[in-house]
Amino acid sequence: MTMKIADLTFEPLIEEEAIAKRINLMSAQLNADYEGKTPIFIGVLNGSFLFVADLIKQVTIPCEVTFTKLASYYGGTTSTRKIREDIDLSVDISGRHIVIMEDIVDTGNTLSYLIEKLKLHSPASIRVCSLLLKPGKLEISIEELRYVGFEIENEFVVGYGLDYKELGRNLRSIYRLIS
């Protein structure tokens, strides 16, 4: 079953049920790893909003949840390597355990920029939790990347928070571009 979004055609890649199952496992892991620590989850908008919402409902340890906004794609299907910072962080993260929540790690440029920026505020620890990872496109090794939902091929995906030309964020499953 294909789906047309703006001028491009997509097909299903990861179904809603598979995402939910994976998120259950990831949250169980986080509950175990951060027991007694009261971490701050920082979602990177816009793409992570559904992932954060669904995952955080399964987190049972005390935690804080906040968001920051970074973008590098500007509506296209390839990374521009230019990062525009829209919102800064309003919470004090010094001495705190930080879990950055990402929709997808592609080249890793966005993430390494954010990690360096957060490190300046001396958090106790920083780890990254990303729903998706494209290992074949990673340009920088990121030791903080501890939790990954799914590894995917070098392909463009939409749905479950991820957009193409700002469309498709509302889709319950993840779809890949048919090339």
Interface with ligand 5GP by CB under 6 A: which residues?
47, 72-73, 79, 102-111, 156-158, 162-164
Binding letters toward Mg ion, positions 34-53, x by CB under 5 A = ----------x--x------
State whether residue 122 is helix, strand or coil: coil
- 6-15: b or e for each residue (b if 16 or more CB lie within 10 Å)? eebebeebbe
Q: Which residue, 41 or 156, is less far from ligand 5GP as judged by CB?
A: 156
Name, in order, each residue with C-beta under 8 angstroms of 40's C-beta and a sequence gap of 6 or more: 63, 64, 65, 66, 91, 93, 96, 97, 98, 99
Q: What are the beta bridge partners of residue 43? A: 67, 101
Whether 54 sits among the annotated catalytic residues: the reply is no
Name, in order, each residue with C-beta under 8 angstroms of 19's C-beta and a sequence gap of 6 or more: 54, 131, 149, 160, 173, 174
Question: How many chain residues touch Mg ion (CB under 5 A)?
Answer: 6
Q: Which residue, 19 or 158, is less far from ligand 5GP as judged by CB?
A: 158
What is the nearest approach in angstroms of Mg ion to the Cβ of residue 97?
21
106 binds, among ligand 5GP, Mg ion, none (CB under 5 to 8 A by kind): ligand 5GP
Separation of alpha carbons 155 and 157, rounded Å:
6
130 binds, among Mg ion, ligand 5GP, none (CB under 5 to 8 A by kind): none
Query: What is the residue whose two structure tokens read 């979602």?
Result: 43
88, 92, 103, 106: the active-site residue:
106
What amino acid positions are annotated as catalytic residues? 106
Q: Which residues bind Mg ion (CB under 5 A)?
A: 44, 47, 73, 102-103, 163
